[in-house]
Each structure stands twice: as C-alpha cells, then as structure tokens.
Structure 1
Amino acid sequence: MSVPLRLYITPFADRGVLEPAQWDCDTAKKALDVVNTIWSKAKIAFVISDCVMERPLDMAKSRRSSDEVLLGVLASRHDPDNAVHIYLVNSIPNLNAGGGSFPNGVPEPTSFVQWYGNDHASGRAWAHEIGHLMELDHVEIDYSNEKQAAQRVKNLMVPGLSAGSDLTSQQIGTAKGSKLVKRFGG
C-alpha cells in the first residue's frame, strides 16, 4: 500500500532577504527513506509524486512560531486538489513542534515539517506528522511512572524533540484504518 505525496520545498525570506534553503528534493528523498523505514511496520509506504521548489515565503520570523498560522499560510498558496501536501521548511527557532498537520484539511490533508539538521531527525519528525495525518494522537508520558515512561518514550507519537520511532499494534491498526490510507486503496 503506497500513499503519494506532493512535496513543496519552501524556503523563507524575511523582509525580502532570502534565507538559504535547508531542504532540496534529494534531502527530501533521504528523509522519506527514514519515514518509510518507520512506517514499514504498518506495511504503509509513501512515495513522492511531485517535488516542487517553491518561491520563498516572505514571513517574519516572529510569525513562524505558530504552527497553525504557518501551516495555514503554506496551504493557502496552492489551489485545492486531492493530493497529500507536505511542506518542507527551514528550521524554525522558537517553534516547539517538529511540524504541524491538518489531517482533515479540506480538500486535502496537509503537513509541514521543519529541518532538523540531518536526514534521520528530519525524517523522524516527518513520520510523526504523517502519523497525525493518519489520525494518530500524541502519546503522553507520565514520568512519575517509570515503567510506563520507559515503554512510551520510544514511541513515534511522543510530542516534542523525541527520537522514538516505535508504533503499537493499536497505532498501526488506526493508521491502516484511517481516511488517508483508505483513500489510496488501503
């Protein structure tokens, strides 16, 4: 089962001053390999149907720290279609999230993923955001419960700067039964 993704590599500018892009189509392919390694446990693969280098998004750095605002601006730059849209953006200082997702975006599900300095970390964040597109919620950790914390800390859906990539059988079932996967023949 494979899900096609339309990628938009979106560099930033601030008051007309272009910031060097951290993503390109080659780094996106390498990060997607990490995504597919993680999601292979669910027998779900993602393929790049299109990779577009976008015109820079001129947005003040202070406005980028809201994942909802940023994703709304990114999504508004394109005509609606039925593709899954993934926006790959530079690192964003002061953004607590690795990205953002609108699983029920109309008409398409959409996410953005910020660059984390290497393919593996960026791919893991991307896999997490795709998890949200497949209807997975965050896994919260109660650090006062050491046994539970030790189990959950390695889960893909832990929020924040986690390095986890594990999926539970329940998460795999939810992902396989999600609207996104069913839409592409799953």
Structure 2
Amino acid sequence: MPSIPLTIYITPFAEKGVTEAAKWSCDSAKDALDVVNGIWVKANVAFVIKDCIVDTPLDIAKDSRNDDKRLLGVLTYRHSEDQSIHIYLVNSIENLNAGGGSYQSSDPEPASFVQWYYNTAANGRAWAHELGHLMTLDHVKIDYTKEREAAALRGNLMVEGLSTGRDLSARQIAQAKGSALVKRFAG
C-alpha cells in the first residue's frame, strides 16, 4: 500500500504576543496518525509523516480563529511547497463547530488544520475526516426523522459536525481511491 506524505506543523496560537502552550506534539501526532491509518486502511490508503515541525506561534485573536477559511489561509501562507500534504495541528478553538478545515486547492499544497480534542481517538478521527475532504468526500447529512436511515449513517466518518463515526461506504472508498490527491501521491 503506497503511503501519502504529510508535513505536520504543530502550530501554537498566540494573542498580542502571548503564546499559548501547544497541546499537540510530534508524539501525539504520530499516535493520532495511527488512528487515521486504522480508518483509511479500508480504502487501501495510508499516510506517513514526512516531517513534523513545531512551528512559530501564529499570533491571531481568539475571536478570529473560528473562521476556518481565514485560519487555513493564514496557516498555508506561511509555508512553501514541499511535495506533501500540509497538516496544521492547532489547539482547541472556541466556537468552531468542526474538527478543522480542509481545502484541496490550498496554496502551496493540499492542506488541513485539525484542532485538539484531548484524546487520541477523537484527534485521529477528526484528522481522518479532514483528509476525507481532501480526497473529495463531502459531509454526510443525516435526516433523523428517518430512523432506519439515520441508524445506518450515524457511524460514518464524514457525518457533519462533531461525531465519533469511523465507517466508510463502498462509494466513499471508491471516490477517495479515485481522487486526484491519491492519484498524485500514491500513484
């Protein structure tokens, strides 16, 4: 199984020059990546850390961090192309309802940020979800008025919002394997 390279940036936040203690470390990133790969093995897709860098703090006001597009834009602007997917691991963000953000056409590389969730399983699941977006998977929306359908979808990795799902449908697996990202990095 070919491995897709990731450059990990542990990015602490700062506000007005005061740096917050980083929650992520390269060791916690490796542990979370084990969870990620445990999920994506179903699609015969694996990820490997090419490099893990403790980045300079990003000085950004707390009330500006929950704009996921703006935050990812600022994070990606700080780094050059290196032929890998850029993953930014950041502390928890107040009022951000998602686990992170992902943009396939980020400049310079496909990129995601993932916020800290205080345990390896939740961190890895959120990271796997964001990688799903990079492999063109959309959110799964559940209509809870249809109980049988809701029960079948509740465990899906791509369920919108905060969930614990780790499952992938056959259609999602095929779509991820056929994505430009997998073709680019895994042949």
TM score, norm. by length of structure 2: 0.97
Matching residue of 1:34: 35
Whether contact under 8 Å (1:82, 1:107) holds in the other structure is: no
Please give the per-residue CA displacement for 1:141-175, whole angstroms capped at 9, x wherever unaligned.
00000011001110000011100000000000000
Is residue 2:182 matched to residue 1:178? Answer: no
**What's the counterpart of residue 20 of structure 1?**
21
* Counterpart secondary structure, 1:184: helix
Q: In structure 2, what is the equivalent of residue 5 of structure 1?
A: 6
**Match of residue 89 from structure 2:** 88
Contact 1:140 1:159 survives alignment (8 Å):
yes
- Is the 2:23–2:91 Cα contact (8 Å) retained in structure 1? yes
Amino acid at match of 2:42: K
Partner of 1:146: 147
Identity of aligned residues (%): 64
Aligned-CA RMSD value = 0.9
1:135 is the counterpart of 2:136: yes
Count residues with an aligned counterpart: 186
Which structure 1 segments of 5+ residues have no match? none
Counterpart of 2:167 in structure 1 is 166
Residue identity matched to 1:184: F
The amino acid that maps onto 2:160 is: P
Deviation readout 1:89-141 (Å, 9 max, x if unpaired): 00001111100001122441100000001111000000000000001000010
Q: What is the one-letter code of the residue matched to 1:109?
A: P
1:72 counterpart residue number: 73
Q: AA paired with 1:68?
A: K
| Pair 1:10–1:113, CA change in 2 (3 A) | same
Whole-angstrom CA distance in 2 between matches of 1:62 and 1:105: 23
Contact conserved, 2:76 with 2:106, CA < 8 A, in 1?
no
- Cα deviation for residue 184 of structure 1 reads 1.6
SS in 2 for 1:183: helix
Give CA-to-partner distance per residue, 1:15-45, whole Å, 9 cap, x none. Answer: 1111110000000000000000000111111
Note the alpha carbon deviations across 1:57-113, whole angstroms, 9 max, x for none. Answer: 010000001110100000011123432100000000111110000112244110000
Q: Which amino acid aligns with 2:104?
A: P
Partner of 1:61: 62
